A = this chain, B = another copy of it.
Amino acid sequence: MNSKKVAEILDVSVDTLRYYERVGVIPPVTRDKNGYRNYQNNDLNWIFLAKSLRNAGMSVESMIEFATLAQSSGDVSAAQKEVLHEQLAQLDQKFAELEKTRNLLEYKIETYDDHLAKFKAGEMTADNADKLWQMPKFNPSAK
């Protein structure tokens, strides 16, 4: 499969495909006699994984680390597996952080309704506006 088609199917730019290969996010792609890239199924898998992890916030650098391990010869299985687990752990941490932020936003929305209600009832002044709009559990010592 040629670059253009892969780019379409996986919704990435041709430039990104070349970039990923160049820096080592994905292993080298096989070429035809003209030096044109001919993507195999396995390459698509790599690209899909790269796309997913990038989307999840993984750095290109981390992905190079994994791809490099996957390609190196010898028994690197353990190391490679560890990297996968590590990435999973990072993902889980991201989940946790995202949830905190979600809670924060929900709290903001809640107190905002409150804020609005009081405002409409004429209880809101410049004086108390600040107090009604506080951060939830912002606790410096809890860090």
**A88 lies within 8 A of B105 (CB):** yes
Known contacts being A9-B140, A49-B104, is A85 close to B109, with CB within 8 Å? yes
For residue A33, CB closer than 8 A to chain B, the reply is no
Taking the closest CB of chain B, its distance from the CB of A42, in whole angstroms, is: 5
Taking the closest CB of chain B, its distance from the CB of A58, in whole angstroms, is: 9
For residue A100, CB closer than 8 A to chain B, the reply is yes
Tell me which of B84, B113, B134 contacts A105 (CB under 8 A). Answer: B84
Closest B residue by C-beta to A75: B119
Interface residues on A, range: 35 or more
Tell me whether chain A's interface is mostly helix, strand or loop, or mixed.
Answer: helix
Bound together, the chains give a CA A60 to CA B109 distance in angstroms of: 20
C-beta contact mask, A20-62 vs B, less than 8 Å → 1, else 0?
0000000000000000000011101100110011011100000
Tell me which of B48, B77, B98 contacts A138 (CB under 8 A). Answer: B48
**A77 lies within 8 A of B133 (CB):** no
Closest B residue by C-beta to A81: B112
Binding site for B on A (CB under 8 A): 9, 11, 40-42, 44-45, 48-49, 52-53, 55-57, 77, 80-81, 84-85, 87-88, 91-92, 94-95, 97-98, 100-102, 104-106, 108-109, 112-113, 116, 119, 130, 133-135, 138, 140, 143
**B106 lies within 8 A of A88 (CB):** yes
Taking the closest CB of chain B, its distance from the CB of A114, in whole angstroms, is: 12
